[in-house]
Structure 1
Amino acid sequence: MNMRTTLSGGLLALLLVALSLALVPAPASAQAARNAQPLEFRDRAEERRFHKLTLELRCVMCQNQSLADSDAPIAHDLRREVFNLMREGRSDAEIKTFLVDRYGEFVLYRPQFGGGTLLLWLGPGIVLLGGAVVLVVVVRKRAARNRVALDPVDDGQEW
């Protein structure tokens, strides 16, 4: 064996080791430390207001959970943000407006009635009305067809 074969074999082995290490999944890294300290409410009224508000707001990551129900990291951050905005003296409407400006109408479980959400609010009623119209038309056509088929034909015979 010559020196070149040994060198290229060693290089190939090194390359295979490096490639296999690159393909091994990295261990899960810990999430950035967030303030794990529980929220301390001044009184029961503030706590009820907070919970009512977080039930009306949607987690922007989970999509089908409220902020109160979600355990996603962003939900923790948003709950803390809502809490801080409450402490600043902002009203529920101001807090919702702040979050809508930041994340869009999606953050609200009950979006406001307006141009962008018109179809969302009226769509179910339109679909229901359209279905009722189709049902009435189909039933009337079948009834008319059955009436024609059931009309006795006078062929001159008596039974």
Structure 2
Amino acid sequence: MMLQQYQKIMVAVDGSNEAELAFQKAVNIAKRNHASLLLVHIIDTRAFQDINSFDSMLAEQATDLAKQSLADYSDYAQKSGIEKVETEIEYGSPKVIIAKQIPQDKAVDLIILGATGLNAVERLFIGSVSEYVTRNALCDVLIVRTDAENKKPENEDD
């Protein structure tokens, strides 16, 4: 018997393998809960701040890629039997947008994220997104480290 039914599940996708695993798991959990699925891609605008002359073009390219990938994910989720799938592209700091802004705006009750592969030094400066979201989110957070069968992916060397 399942007491906790999630209504709206958000998964952040960014084209990484970790995000791919998170997406697969989000689809399974959304199906089991008869929940709607919100696929979000955050374009980190800080990445474009150093390159003045190109930044509008780069941001546009990033947006086109994000739209395409969200459309593919959305298709897959619907073919898997999820009735309500939404997609959203946001611009800014991924941490805050994922932890607070979208969950508040969209009444999200479960956030699913891939475990980000930052090394210790990067984490010191950037602070991993998953770490921040885990600490600051207003709803449940699932950090995915395994594939759809709950096995650690083969190619991991740690």
TM-score, structure 1 as length reference: 0.24
RCO higher in structure (CA 8 A, sep ≥6)? 2
Structure (1/2) with the larger strand percentage: 2
TM-score, structure 2 as length reference: 0.24
Q: Which has the larger radius of gyration?
A: 1
